[in-house]
Amino acid sequence: MKIIFASAHDTDSEPWIKPLQALVPTAEFQNWDEHGPTIGAQLAVVWNPPADIFLRESKLEAIFNLGAGVDALFRLPGLKDDTPIVRLEDAGMAVQMAEYAAYALLRASRQFDAYEALQNTQFWTPQPDIDRRKWPVGVMGMGVMGARVAQTLASFNYPVAGWSRSGNDLPGIAQFVGRHQLSAFLGRTRVLINTLPLTDETRGILSRQNLLELQPHAHIVNVGRGEHLIEEDLLALLDSGHIQGATLDVFRQEPLPQDHPFWRHPRITLTPHVAAASLREESIEQVAEKINRYLRGEPLTGVVARSKGY
């Protein structure tokens, strides 16, 4: 059993392949070599792999993705409709996502941004006390990431709602389901946190039309994918004041181009796609476990539903 490894996580593949090889001794891992021959791999372990991987390694029986989002794989030529794709589930990412969302929410609602500015002017100026009812949080996507985010923020006593395709019954989190409840969800939300996967249905969902439905002085946190957000719409709504601020981790083009207006916008805080990193040890452990189960013919979790795209 040959396994091709092609990951953009690190320039050095050794710290990934060595432990994977030790945990899956019955297979032979080989690092992707853009100049090398096709190895006839049966399995692939990938993260943002080279564009020609599925054309060159055309005998793949299954693909193991070293991340939660699989949207990048669907853009690559040669990906067969019936090749199972298995993604990471949590693997240490959900807690990071919750930290990130908590930071963004608290910075806005506890006015830490205002205090940063005040410190620069050496003014001792307490801001009005927090009223959590004025900061209703809405989490788009209630999967592995969204559920952890929602539960964490609810534990700080913010009113939290979740929006998803099929809903779930997390205690203390108001549930909104499907397109027909999107408007009601947005209308009760001031801090919108997007943890959706990128699919044909969710691309562009953070549009002017939808963002206008949010409560005034809204704050947007985008940790899903850059293509969820219509960037020009966000800029216009920041200018109009309907949106008070945005915390963005993902962008249409990554790295964000030097001349992009987001870099210098006073009400945008941005980070370079680090909201929830794939931690090496956790990722290796989970992927090795999934491969071993696959090799033993046991059922797997985290298999992408190709009809839904996530």
Task: Please report whether residue 310 would count as binding ligand NDP according to CB under 6 A.
Answer: yes
Q: Exposed/middle/buried for 306, CB within 10 Å: 0-12, 13-18, 19+?
A: middle
Please state, in angstroms and rounded to a whole number, the distance separating the CA atoms of residues 198 and 205: 10
Is 7 or 278 the residue whose CB approaches ligand OXD more closely?
278
For residues 97-156, which are near ligand OXD according to CB under 6 A?
A: none
Q: Per-residue string for binding with ligand NDP, 188-207, x by CB under 6 A?
A: -------xxxxx-xx-----
Within 64-103, which residues bind ligand NDP (CB under 6 A)?
A: 68-69, 93
DSSP string of 169-195, one letter each residue: --TT-EEEESGGGHHHHHHT-SEEEE-
Q: Please, how many CA atoms are within 13 Å of residue 210, restricted to the half-sphere of its CB?
A: 21
Q: Which is nearer to ligand NDP, 44 or 94 (CB)?
A: 94
CB atoms within 10 A of CB 114: 13
Q: Which does 138 bind (CB under 5 to 8 A by kind): ligand NDP, ligand OXD, none?
A: none
From 67, 162, 226, 302, residue interacting with ligand OXD (rule: CB under 6 A): 67
CB of 205 to ligand NDP, least distance (A): 8
226 binds ligand OXD (CB under 6 A): no
Q: How far apart are CA 192 and CA 101, in angstroms?
A: 10
Q: Which does 304 bind (CB under 5 to 8 A by kind): ligand NDP, ligand OXD, none?
A: none
By the rule CB under 6 A, 287 interacts with ligand OXD: no
> How far, in Å, are 3, 139, 251, 252, 269 from residue 272 at the CA level?
30, 21, 9, 12, 11
247 binds ligand NDP (CB under 6 A): no
How many other C-beta atoms can be found within 10 angstroms of the C-beta atom of residue 160?
26
Per partner kind, with CB cut-offs from 5 to 8 A, the member of ligand OXD, ligand NDP, none near residue 196 is ligand NDP
The catalytic residue positions are 225, 273
